[in-house]
Structure 1
Amino acid sequence: MLSLTRRNPEFRRLFLAHTVSRSGDAFNTVALVVLVFELTGSGRGVAAVAMFEVLPVLLIGPIAGFAADKVSRRHLMVGADLVRAGAAAALLLAAASLPAVFAVALVLSAAAVVFNPAASSLVADVVDSNDLITANSALWSAAVVAQVIFAPLAGVVIAASDVRTAFAINSATFVVSAALLIGLRSGRAPATIEALGWSGALGGVRVVRRHPLLRRLLIVQVLAALSAGATSGLLVVLAQQRLGVGPGGFGLLLAAIGVGAAMGPVLLRRFIKVGDRRWLFGPYLLRGGVDVALATVTSPAIAGSALVVYGVSTSTGMVAYQSTVQGAVPAEIRGRSLALFDVAWNGARLVSLAAGGIIADAVDVRWVYFGAAGLLFAAALVGFAAPLDTHQRQFSSR
């Protein structure tokens, strides 16, 4: 993976900007949760932050995808970084006001919604198709390692000073990211899009609907999101009620996922193939098995080991999925197509969070994980429904 950053200076800039920005995100995530809990003393306040982070994806996702195809992706990313730098800096002055904190969370998320499809689309513009797996593996691993290292560090920084220091660090990382991205010379010219308004913004829907493999991927992603939203949100409940561990043990469970997610692309990158359904859909079988294990075991050690497997399967599946979509979709429609996947994923995740909370309170948190396993097995079944060579022909003859 490092060889790609050495021989491709444009990807090196993108990789460094991505890594710096993700490191700041880790500080911001921890600081926002701590600040809101300090201001409200309520779990509902923390949940509201999550809501403000998801809503922009649903509301402006299609428009952001349209912009990623219509406007220079580099300029779009730089602008989004500068907006996020300003929003994070605003919390230095408004950290005592809950409405201001929610407003900043909304702005940060909205800017990320603009940034993400442009960034994902740009990857395929700056690397050859043969390097997509390597590029996405490097970006994914950097993001996970940044989360594993800097989230705990953020807690130390906040404890030693206050949340404002974490927000200042986050703001600075966005400025550094923007400076790196300004120097990018690669990337296609903005597309000429004849249809404006919703017709143009929804161009990704038409592409995905007409492409059999992408259509199948979208269905599978929705099923997976209906599973993952609840299980990720309720892991803290499972840790306490079933595994008998407190906040420290819960942190170790999250770390287990992070370790597995970081290991996956590093160990398995050379085996992952673009458009190969074994890597696109096989990980859902493993993740479903992990959810069954989590619903049945009471040993924290076994649960932690299972979550390492969960992390490995999630990261390898994500690299295969991202590389496949980037390679299958023409450059001029790539931003809108990727935005469609983001909207579908986050919409299903929101439904999953709500349903999971109701089931956990009404019955038992174990049944959330049993149900999630069923959804993941269904996702794998949908993915494997067509023969392998059919999928490969669909991909290669786009």
Structure 2
Amino acid sequence: MASSPFRRDFGFVWLGGLISLCGTHMQFVALPLFVFERTGSTLATAATAMAAATPGIFLGPRAGGFVDRNDPRRCLILANLCLGCITFGFLPAAVGPWWIVVVVVAVQGLLGQVVGPAETVWLPQLVGTGMLGRANALSAASKSLGRLVGPAVGGLIYATSGFASVAILNAASFLVAAALNGATQRSIARPAQPRTQAAPWQQAWRHARRDPLLRRLLMVVVLSSIGEGAISALLAPFAVERLDGQATLGLVLTCQALGGISAAAVLSRWHPNTAMPALLGTGCLAAGALLVPMLGYPIWTAVAWPEMVMTALAGFPFAVIAIAQTTLLQTAPPPGARGGFYGFAASIGSTCSLIGMLAAGVLASVTNVFVILIDAVCYLAAGTVMLTGSTRVWRRRRAAAVNCLPASN
């Protein structure tokens, strides 16, 4: 894109993503609260989170390969339409058996496997590689805005109107996103990708074996996903038992978005493409260092304001992680295989998230919710892995790419 990534089509995609993310974060707060209040079981909340992660284990690479072979714009529109329809399935759970939400969440997870690869492949087409870092920063801003608005609104609506109202609004958000994506111009036709006998996950694994940067990127996905799985399973019980309730959970998640918006504002004015591995590693270390006191201090006190302050500070490194990781997934794999590699990474992430959820749920049931500190350990390890030699590899790749460019007259 010649001047700014915020052109017409990107604006529609950006707005659609923001609206759907607001609905998703509303559900992120309300759903575990609903399950925990109905069952009183950390294992039940962990099972609900596991249902969302399980489809990605088996279908992530195939969904990414599907996007590589098709129009990513159309894939994204259809996925959002289907997500909007299936989300209405939460309504019977509000008055019926709680386990209905597990089924609906599993189908949401199934459809969601298309969304990530489609966005990954489509965004470079919209903005061009030269503006990709800034576009990802603006996309991270929309995610942070969704995290800012969604949790607070979701917690408030859940407390006043119940889970059914949250489900209706989330379903509507997916449908609006589909309409906005449909208002964009059709994707530029891409050359057909050669078919291969290898399965999508085998192709992605071959690329990772040959490329040390991709291997380190996958290790970061593994470690961070284990940590995020643990926090997904235990955040609601942690807030209810140690931080005095539902409203606190929504406010804590909203505070994280404030730091994320700040990071996106800074990085949208900077072109950090040459430093993405270092940016990702540093962001992981900073996030891990902040998570230790943020999740550990309620051992001594249930006062909530320190949690909110530290969560706001942690929002900055988490936004940095999102921007750097997304840009690496869009640029480090070879062209024509990026959707498949994204799906492979998502599949590994889902598997590790499932492990984290299960381990955290079981350990917390026999100890206490401070098992949630696993998240901090995982991010510290991920940062260490990414900073070990990856910047040198990235510089060699950039230099090789420049040397391959045709000489200008």
Question: Would the TM-score normalized by the shorter structure come out above 0.5?
Answer: yes
The equivalences for 1:142-291 within 5 A come to 142-184=142-184, 185-189=186-190, 191-196=192-197, 199-236=199-236, 245-271=244-270, 273-276=272-275, 277-291=277-291
Paired amino acid for 1:315: A
Report the Cα offset of residue 18 of structure 1. 1.2
User: Judging changes above 3 Å, is the alpha-carbon distance between structure 1 residues 393 and 312 closer, same or farther for their aligned structure 2 residues?
Assistant: same
Equivalent-residue separation in structure 2 for 1:396 and 1:342 (angstroms): 29
Contact kept, 8 Å, 2:140 with 2:319, in 1: the verdict is yes
User: Judging changes above 3 Å, is the alpha-carbon distance between structure 1 residues 288 and 12 closer, same or farther for their aligned structure 2 residues?
Assistant: same
Match of 2:56 in 1: 57
User: Judging changes above 3 Å, is the alpha-carbon distance between structure 1 residues 166 and 239 closer, same or farther for their aligned structure 2 residues?
Assistant: closer
Contact kept, 8 Å, 1:204 with 1:337, in 2: the verdict is yes
Match of 2:336 in 1: 332
SS at match of 2:76: helix
Equivalent-residue separation in structure 1 for 2:170 and 2:318 (angstroms): 26
Choose between structure 1 and 2 for higher RCO, CA contacts under 8 A separated by at least 6 residues: 2
Contact kept, 8 Å, 1:260 with 1:311, in 2: the verdict is yes
Divergent runs of 4+, >6 A: none
User: Judging changes above 3 Å, is the alpha-carbon distance between structure 1 residues 39 and 66 closer, same or farther for their aligned structure 2 residues?
Assistant: same
* Greater mean deviation of Cα atoms: 275-284 or 293-302: 293-302
Contact kept, 8 Å, 1:261 with 1:313, in 2: the verdict is yes
State which of 309, 313, 324 in structure 2 corresponds to 1:305: 309
Report the Cα offset of residue 336 of structure 1. 0.6
The equivalences for 1:15-94 within 5 A come to 15-33=14-32, 36=35, 40=39, 42-92=41-91
Equivalent-residue separation in structure 2 for 1:231 and 1:91 (angstroms): 23
Paired amino acid for 1:292: V
Report the Cα offset of residue 269 of structure 1. 3.7
Equivalent-residue separation in structure 2 for 1:105 and 1:40 (angstroms): 17
Contact kept, 8 Å, 2:61 with 2:340, in 1: the verdict is yes
Equivalent-residue separation in structure 1 for 2:399 and 2:361 (angstroms): 42
Equivalent-residue separation in structure 1 for 2:372 and 2:107 (angstroms): 32
Contact kept, 8 Å, 1:62 with 1:336, in 2: the verdict is yes
Contact kept, 8 Å, 1:286 with 1:309, in 2: the verdict is no
CA RMSD of superposed structures (Å): 3.0
Match of 2:115 in 1: 115
Q: Among all aligned residue pairs of Structure 1 and Structure 2, give the percentage whose two residues are the same amino acid.
A: 26
Match of 2:102 in 1: 102
* Greater mean deviation of Cα atoms: 23-32 or 322-331: 23-32
Unaligned ranges ≥5, structure 2: 402-409
Match of 2:136 in 1: 136
Contact kept, 8 Å, 1:126 with 1:187, in 2: the verdict is no
Match of 1:394 in 2: 397
Contact kept, 8 Å, 1:56 with 1:110, in 2: the verdict is yes
Equivalent-residue separation in structure 1 for 2:143 and 2:318 (angstroms): 13
User: Judging changes above 3 Å, is the alpha-carbon distance between structure 1 residues 377 and 71 closer, same or farther for their aligned structure 2 residues?
Assistant: same
Equivalent-residue separation in structure 1 for 2:101 and 2:234 (angstroms): 24
Equivalent-residue separation in structure 2 for 1:36 and 1:233 (angstroms): 11
Cα offsets for 1:172-229 (capped at 9, x unmatched): 2222222222233234537423125x52453222223222211111112212223333
Equivalent-residue separation in structure 1 for 2:360 and 2:392 (angstroms): 37
User: Judging changes above 3 Å, is the alpha-carbon distance between structure 1 residues 257 and 201 closer, same or farther for their aligned structure 2 residues?
Assistant: same
Paired amino acid for 1:192: Q
User: Judging changes above 3 Å, is the alpha-carbon distance between structure 1 residues 58 and 362 closer, same or farther for their aligned structure 2 residues?
Assistant: same
Report the Cα offset of residue 316 of structure 1. 0.8
User: Judging changes above 3 Å, is the alpha-carbon distance between structure 1 residues 163 and 338 closer, same or farther for their aligned structure 2 residues?
Assistant: same
SS at match of 1:332: coil
Contact kept, 8 Å, 1:121 with 1:331, in 2: the verdict is no
TM-score, normalised relative to structure 1: 0.86
Match of 2:358 in 1: 354
Report the Cα offset of residue 330 of structure 1. 3.3
Contact kept, 8 Å, 2:230 with 2:357, in 1: the verdict is yes
Contact kept, 8 Å, 1:227 with 1:372, in 2: the verdict is yes
Aligned residues, how many? 392
Equivalent-residue separation in structure 2 for 1:158 and 1:247 (angstroms): 9
Match of 2:321 in 1: 317
Equivalent-residue separation in structure 1 for 2:393 and 2:203 (angstroms): 25
Equivalent-residue separation in structure 1 for 2:164 and 2:394 (angstroms): 50
User: Judging changes above 3 Å, is the alpha-carbon distance between structure 1 residues 148 and 78 closer, same or farther for their aligned structure 2 residues?
Assistant: same
State which of 346, 352, 355 in structure 2 corresponds to 1:342: 346
* Greater mean deviation of Cα atoms: 51-60 or 139-148: 139-148
User: Judging changes above 3 Å, is the alpha-carbon distance between structure 1 residues 314 and 159 closer, same or farther for their aligned structure 2 residues?
Assistant: closer
Report the Cα offset of residue 151 of structure 1. 2.9
Paired amino acid for 2:79: A
1:375 counterpart = 2:375: no
* Greater mean deviation of Cα atoms: 119-128 or 180-189: 180-189
Paired amino acid for 1:186: S
Unaligned ranges ≥5, structure 1: none
